[in-house]
Amino acid sequence: MSVNFLISQAKNIQKVINENASEIEALDQNIGDGDHIFNIQRGLKLVIELEGTIKDLPLAKALNMIAMKVLSGIGGSSGALFGTFFISMAKSPDLDKDIEFRKACEMIINGIQAMKERGKADVGEKTMMDVLIPVSVKLNEIKNNNSEIKQGLSEIIKIAEDRMLSTKDMLATKGRASFLGERAKGHIDPGARSSQLIIDTICKFIINQ
């Protein structure tokens, strides 16, 4: 993991999110307040705009700046949650050393754990955590078992997609959708969809390298 990698992933993700923008927008209009797509797009834009400022900085500093940007520039649930993710990332030890795959996994797992603590949502509550927690569990498995990386990432792609789809028939207990009771059923959670697209994009990028 490097600053360069982060920026180029942000660009890839931006492309994918923009391609799916109207779907994500509609999802938050159905069971939320319609701003999720703009929050995500704003966040990606802000991170990508940082490129000039951070591209030659050490990773710790760059992650810190990304975290502050995401935290202060997005707002809403997404801003707090993804901000928390990057703050956790930026606090990882030994960021001045080379970050190989296992280390990167650890950082992501810790980031997702921080999100979970911030939002107090677990699997089954119809949020992005329905995608992120199982992904984190799988990452941990891959890391601990020294599994074949590309094979593991393919499985993660599948997990993210299944879990994203699984939010469709859930009752929500956290987030805006929780206010709807039964009426939330039948709609995929917007944060679950955007998270799944992010994971999908990064995994595919690494697999195709």
Partner 1 sequence: MKKFINKADDFLKESLNGFGKAHGDIIQVSLDPTFVSRKNKKKEGKVSLISGGGSGHEPMHGGFVGYGMLDAACPGFVFSAPAPDQMQAAAEHVDSGAGVLFIVKNYSGDIMNFQMGAEMYSGTNDSIITNDDVAVEDSTFTTGRRGVAATVLVEKIVGSLAEDGGSLEECKKLGEKVNKNAGTMGVAFTSCTVPAAGKPTFDIGDDEMEFGVGIHGEPGRKREKIKPSKTIVGNILDAILDNLKPENNEKILLFVNGMGGTPLTELYLVYDDAFQILKSKGVEVTRSLVGNYCTSLEMQGASITLLKCDEKIIKNWDAPVHTAAMRWGM
Ligand X SMILES: Nc1ncnc2c1ncn2[C@@H]1O[C@H](COP(=O)(O)OP(=O)(O)O)[C@@H](O)[C@H]1O
By CB under 6 A, name the binding residues for ligand X: 28, 32-33, 35-36, 39, 76-78, 81, 119-121, 127-129, 174-176, 189-192
Sign of the C-alpha dihedral computed for residues 46, 63, 81 and 14 taken in this order: positive
Q: Which residue is nearest to ligand X (CB)?
A: 191
Alpha-carbon span 10 to 176, nearest angstrom = 26
Alpha-carbon span 133 to 156, nearest angstrom = 11
Return the one option of partner 1, Mg ion, ligand X, none that residue 128 interacts with (CB less than 5 to 8 A, by type).
Answer: ligand X
Among 99, 109, 180, 207, binds partner 1 (CB under 8 A): 180
Q: How far is the CB of 148 from partner 1 (least distance, A)?
A: 37
148 part of the interface to Mg ion, by CB under 5 A: no
Cβ within 8 Å of residue 38, ≥6 positions away = none
101 part of the interface to partner 1, by CB under 8 A: no
Amino acid in position 5:
F
CB 189 within 8 A of CB 180: no
# of chain residues touching partner 1 (CB under 8 A): 36
| Nearest 10 degrees: Cα torsion 127, 130, 133, 134 | -170
Alpha-carbon span 204 to 208, nearest angstrom = 6
80 part of the interface to partner 1, by CB under 8 A: yes
**Shorter beta-carbon distance to ligand X: residue 103 or 174:** 174
Closest C-alpha to 194, from 87, 74, 100, 101: 74
Alpha-carbon span 209 to 202, nearest angstrom = 11
Site for Mg ion in 68-97 (CB under 5 A): 76
The contact mask relative to Mg ion for 23-62 (x = CB under 5 A, - = no) is -----x---xx-xx--------------------------
Q: Which stretch binds partner 1 (CB under 8 A): 3-11, 38-46, 92-100, 153-161?
A: 38-46
Site residues (vs Mg ion, CB under 5 A): 28, 32-33, 35-36, 76
